[in-house]
Structure 1
């Protein structure tokens, strides 16, 4: 094993924190043993460099590539800055990769792009052949003039081949091609790669450079990724199995030669679940049926029969699920309808079996799939040959493959069939969607983690590690946890003994008066700005409106669809202001509020996710998969409680981001208190926090919070003028 301090050549600052040096040692040694790492570090403790520095060193020694990934845009920007700092100490080849859609200069979809690439490459290839053949025939012509009979004979054969190539090129004139990609293929791209690796370039940098030169920056980046030390990318490049296979091919690496680092890794579970889930809308079914009606193939009749039956079953299923007035309440967002029943299969499957009459579902679905594949090939040829201006996607193939998978897999453990509805804003019509929802994300992640050489999963909120390892399918990982390294006297964490805010309790006038009083005190007795997190946007709006009548402080309301960055800028520029938002919104994680940006953070209630049929299915799948011999409720703990407390901890981490920073964290709900732990069974959540965080919690009566905050901020001379009077 190499000396572990060799990795310090990649550390861009004068001296690491004490915990950073220890973490780098342990992570490097884990790589040497081929182990994965679960790494929890509080906000501001240098997790990124603690993981990235030893990874780069080990990769340099063992000829591997490091891929660091996140699903948070701000973190992506941070990775770029860290990589640029590293290059000032040690030269590395780094690329930042983003999806094709955001880098395409002509705005075409994936399928169209593939055809354009193939066509363009064929044109360039034939033009190259033409030039070579013309040069060859001129050489042979010269030789034949000098009396070489064999040259004359050879030239005749070359002329025949030249004629064929000219005819082929003439036939390609009407095909669809990409001018940007054409310029990539015919030009000298050394200037681009020299520019690319002279610094760490963002996708926007590459797009702008390529646009000026009329090149395809995305394809240049793909072609030039071989031999890089570091790649920065989004989650989907690794969590989508098909994209991952292509991504590693672009890297020129086998999976075992890749080290992956996942930031904000508490989000991997949900993101992997999204990537694994499959959907089919009623509109796609209608398009497939129209497509089949236009086909004169003998297979179109049985294909139409089986797809139409599924289409009727889908509509019947959601119509039967509507109660009085439910249809009128449907809006433009997807909303699940209940299709579970006491039988082994769901309502959609049972309705499909009732609706279907024919020679056999399996037989007709196979015919539909085969026909769909042929139609899809025809559409590709039509676009390739220039007979169509867009690359049409075969809806029959998409519908038939989904229905086949739905019937084969919907009863499997970990797969949950769902029907959702929404209103089309253009037509005002309600339509449905069928979905195969994947409850257990390790069906996606376990394969990835077993394929690559090693993985670091890092976040401020990963614990309990055993639960995360189970859910994601990690085998024998190394676990590291570092709490806040900043002075403990610079922070206070209060658990307010207010009513337990179960959904049934939230409308009680006395409860609302108590919560409003706590929030008013928290805002008034904060020497600076306050962040207030709620279980939903509706609850945030409720107390925003209430406090607007009772306080003169500047109050900001985060609402879905508004610009978070603009709202954040206005808020941090203010003083003594309060920002109201949902814990499930984008401000709860990945957004920093440093120093005076915010001093107090308040979490109101235990923000459990909506306990829908979908969530109950996840609980049941976890119960059956991770049955705990100690008798714990694995489904509730794994699927609901632990993810919720991770969210709460993420929100608390928005303040106190440096050794000089100070602030107050407030948890408003009896379930966070010691009394709640004793009295409320599984609904008391205090024990779900790590032990060192529990040790800092101070239980306090609602009416005493203002005095505690006054003392804390007063001890730090935090007010510019006179402090408020209780």
Structure 2
């Protein structure tokens, strides 16, 4: 069992933050009991080191490897900084791992890379074999000169083998190989690994080092992952079951020898859902049918029976689902159509069953799978031997695998069949996609958490813990929550009794005017930058325009939009004083992005930013209602309310990130006030954790300016004379 002295040797700084020492002790105890941990800590309170320090000590003592993962790019950089700091206190072998696509020097797809790697390895093995045979031939020639009996016959056998190897080498050289990986295999890479473990290297540094030496940094990194203490990676390395199996193999570890640490763990639910969902486009089906036309195989006809029926059913289904004039509105993004039924299978499945005329779907899907695997092997061989310049993907195999899953799983709880359409940018034609959407993420995550030694899930917004346990499939985790321990007199959290921004009320001019008045006061009485988060980019643009047209708003006004690079927008905002940034709460700036000190003084969440209540969201609600039928309004609470409040709390956490920091946090909507108790499930004040709820101070819109003036004036925060109410 660990002691404080043992794990604190991994702590790289002079003194832990408030509550950090307590969190490290609790996590160390939980790891000794091989229990999972749910850690909620306010932004800026050192959650990463609270988890890493005891995890690294536990792993060192019990011969485990720690894998820390995030889906937020900025947090990856923070992990690297923390790991580098630790290595200066305690020797640590750490690698930072990214996907192949971001590290490939010749820009090929995954399957091509796999094939190139195999052919290149075979080439090097044959070259090694040739060198060994040459040595044998030379030795036998000496023995022939010495007159040894049988030496001549033996040498003839060796030279015959040499001729065969030379012929194979000639074929391999005419095929496709990767020169970067070839250099990995034939060169001395000791220098690379010495450099790699001198410090904690980023994937960008590894790419540059390898590129200068014509090496494959990705493959070298995989080789170097064995016997490391710490790996930093993206969510998909753990949440995708196929990638996870390979990832652990590269680590040289069985799952029970791995401790996982998930940062921003409130995002696991949606990330797992994305990894589990499966899709099949109309284009893939068309390409598969073309592939079958060229296949001289008895299984081609059964495969064609299945795939052509599914393609026809897909087209007929989205044609029927598109309403009058709706096709003309379809754009470049996927547009969902309703095909699910409450009392029977979905419309696409019914149309497929109606169109299919073969000898049995299960049998013919199985034949399509067999043929697809055979064709896929042929494509690999053609690429290996140079008959093809690219490694083709077998479309028949992809289509058959999807149809098999669709028929087997489409009616199961938590699986929601969907159909979507989009417009082809080249042809302007509308085409379709079938999707099996996974609503309940524990189908992906539960196995992971059962397999590994222990997992630490940390976030500023994990509570309520019982919900995260249910949703992700965690069993009896240790739970701990640490609030914002910085001085309370340096922050205010105000619930403004502004109109409730229900979607039906947002277009009301009176509502807009009242909210704009509140925001204008908030900006005028803030001595510095103001962050405004809205339920959508459209609402952000609406109030950006309203504020721009007001004479009393003189601040530098910025509008965030979809597709804008996060760091460039952040830099524009923090690049000067007295700026206002309007953005969506569901955008990239609401979490994982730091606004420290003078970067932002006031943050406001305008409205209760429920996600768009799409069919996907309704499907998730329905799945949770059915899975947790004993819980009152489980669907609404698990799928809508709690994720929304987590996002709101994340946004509020963009300010007050250090003990000497100060600022105001605003919730602009009467649903956050005490009056919301009479609003049923739409009143959200009660969804905040108790200590955060206790800090909420209700304020009339007309009194907001006075509340902010008093707070900032007491801190002597105004550089000149305070503004006059």
Q: What TM-score do the two structures reach when normalised by structure 2?
A: 0.98
SS of the equivalent of 1:17 reads: coil
Pairwise mapping of residues 108-147 of structure 1 onto structure 2 (< 5 A)? 108-147=108-147
Residue equivalent to 1:513: 513
SS, match of residue 533 in structure 1: strand
Shift of 1:70: 0.4
Larger deviation, residues 583-592 vs 564-573? 564-573
Cα shift at 1:147: 2.4
Cα deviation, residue 581, structure 1: 0.4
Quote the Cα distance in structure 2 between the aligned partners of 1:447 and 1:30: 20
| Corresponding residue of 2:601 | 599
Q: Report the more deviating stretch, 217-226 or 136-145.
A: 136-145
- The question of whether the paired residues in 2 share the 8 Å contact of 1:226 and 1:252 is answered with yes
1:184 equivalenced with 2:184 (yes/no):
yes
- Stretches of 4+ aligned residues off by more than 4 angstroms: none
1:603-642 matches, within 5 Å, as: 603-628=605-630, 632-642=632-642
Mapped to 2, the partners of 1:614 and 1:476 lie a distance apart of: 30
Distance 2:106 2:81 in 1: 30
Mapped to 1, the partners of 2:152 and 2:324 lie a distance apart of: 89
**Whole-Å separation in 1 of the counterparts to 2:56 and 2:94:** 11
Name the SS of the counterpart of 1:580 in structure 2.
strand
Q: Distance in 2 between matches of 1:414 and 1:645?
A: 23
SS of equivalent to 1:427:
coil
Q: What do residues 333-367 of structure 1 show as CA deviations (whole Å, max 9, x unaligned)?
A: 11211112343211111121222222222222122
- CA-CA distance at 1:481 after TM superposition: 0.4
CA distance in 1, matches of 2:432, 2:368: 22
Does the 8 A contact of 2:498 with 2:515 survive in 1?
A: yes
Q: Distance in 2 between matches of 1:615 and 1:569?
A: 34
Task: Determine the C-alpha separation between the residues in 2 that align with 1:716 and 1:326.
Answer: 57
Deviation of residue 297 (structure 1)? 2.1
* Count of residue pairs the alignment pairs up: 723
1:318-397 matches, cutoff 5 A: 318-397=318-397
Does the 8 A contact of 1:176 with 1:389 survive in 2?
A: yes
The residue aligned with 1:157 is 157
Give me the whole-angstrom Cα distance separating, in 1, the residues matched to 2:514 and 2:626.
Answer: 41
In the alignment, the residues of structure 2 paired with residue 44 and residue 537 of structure 1 have an alpha-carbon distance, to the nearest angstrom, of: 27
SS in 2 for 1:586: coil
- Confirm or deny: 8 A CA contact 1:336 1:419 kept in the other structure: yes
Deviation of 1:626 after TM superposition, in Å, equals: 2.1
CA distance in 1, matches of 2:694, 2:315: 54
List runs of 5+ in structure 1 lacking aligned partners: none
Q: Deviations over 1:40-99 (max 9, x none)?
A: 000111100000011110111111111000000100000001111111101100100000
- Tell me by how many angstroms 1:150 deviates: 4.0
Deviation digits for residues 362-392 of structure 1, max 9, x if unmatched? Answer: 2221221111111111111111110000000
SS in 2 for 1:617: helix
The 10-residue stretch of structure 1 (59-68 or 420-429) with the greater mean CA deviation from structure 2: 420-429
Question: How far apart are the structure 2 equivalents of 1:567 and 1:459?
Answer: 24
Answer yes or no: is 1:225 the counterpart of 2:225: yes
Aligned mates of 2:195, 2:410 — CA distance in 1: 51
- Cα pair 1:24 1:53 within 8 Å, conserved: yes
SS in 1 for 2:320: helix
Distance in 1 (alpha carbons) for counterparts of 2:227 and 2:342 = 56
| Residue correspondence of structure 1 range 646-725 to structure 2 within 5 A | 646-677=646-677, 679-725=678-724
SS of 1:519 mapped into structure 2: helix
Structure-1 separation of matches of 2:340 and 2:381: 43
Partner residue of 2:579 out of 577, 580, 586? 577
Q: Does 1:524 align with 2:524?
A: yes
Give the 5 Å matches for 1:449-528: 449-528=449-528
* Whole-Å separation in 1 of the counterparts to 2:309 and 2:338: 20
| Higher mean displacement: 276-285 or 159-168 | 159-168
What SS does the corresponding residue of 1:436 show, helix, strand or coil?
strand
2:280 is matched with 280
Match of 1:173 in 2: 173
Residue 91 (structure 2) aligns with: 91
Residue 552 (structure 1) shift: 2.2
The structural deviation recorded for 1:670 is 1.3
Residue in 1 aligned with 2:563? 561
- Which range moves more in the overlay, 563-572 or 389-398? 563-572
1:5 paired to 2:5:
yes
Contact conserved, 2:120 with 2:178, CA < 8 A, in 1?
Answer: yes
Matched, 1:306 2:306: yes
- Matches of 2:272 and 2:5, distance apart in 1: 35
Q: Is the 8 A contact 2:462 2:646 kept in 1?
A: yes
Aligned-pair Cα RMSD in Å: 1.1
Cα distance in 1 for partners of 2:68, 2:2 equals: 23
Q: After superposition, what is the alpha-carbon deviation per residue over 1:274-309, rounded to whole angstroms, capped at 9, x for unaligned?
A: 000000111111111111122232222222222111
Partner Cα distance (2:720, 2:697) in 1: 28
Task: Give, in whole Å, the separation in 1 of the partners of 2:568 and 2:93.
Answer: 34
Preserved contact between residue 67 and residue 258 of structure 1 (Cα < 8 Å): yes
Secondary structure of 1:587's match? coil
Write out per-residue CA displacement over residues 456-509 of structure 1, whole angstroms, 9 at most, x where no aligned residue.
000000000010011000011000100001001111111111222111111112
Distance 2:255 2:340 in 1: 40
Which secondary structure state, in structure 2, belongs to the residue aligned with residue 574 of structure 1? coil
CA separation in 2, counterparts of 1:153 and 1:285? 59
Range that drifts further, 486-495 or 288-297? 288-297
- For 1:387 and 1:704, locate their aligned partners in 2 and report how far apart those are by CA, in whole Å: 77
User: Taking structure 1 as the reference length, what is the TM-score of the superposition?
Assistant: 0.98
What is the match of residue 21 of structure 2?
A: 21
Task: Give the 3 Å change call, closer, same or farther, for CA 555–18 of structure 1 in structure 2.
Answer: closer
- SS of equivalent to 2:9: helix
SS at structure 2 position matched to 1:592: coil
Q: Which piece of structure 1 moves more, 289-298 or 186-195?
A: 289-298
Residues 18 and 45, structure 2, Cα contact 8 Å, conserved in 1: no
Question: Residues 556 and 578 of structure 2 are in contact (CA less than 8 Å); yes or no, is this contact kept in structure 1?
Answer: yes
Output one character per residue of 1:406-457: Cα deviation in whole Å (capped at 9) or x when no partner.
Answer: 0111100110001111112222111111100111101111111111100000
Q: Within 2, Cα distance between the matches of 1:263 and 1:14?
A: 23
Q: Which residue does 1:552 correspond to in 2?
A: 554
Give the C-alpha shift of residue 109 in structure 1: 0.6
- Contact 1:289/1:304, CA 8 A, preserved across alignment: yes
Displacement, 1:707? 1.0
Tell me the alpha carbon deviations over residues 113-166 of structure 1, each in whole angstroms, 9 at most, x when there is no partner: 111111111110011011111111211221232122143443333223222222
CA distance in 2, matches of 1:525, 1:692: 27
Return the alpha-carbon distance in structure 2 between the equivalents of residues 448 and 680 of structure 1.
40
Q: Is the 8 A contact 1:470 1:626 kept in 2?
A: no
Mapped partners of 2:717, 2:61: distance in 1: 50
| Rounded Cα–Cα distance in structure 2 between residues aligned with 1:246 and 1:85 | 29
- The equivalent residue for 1:31 is 31
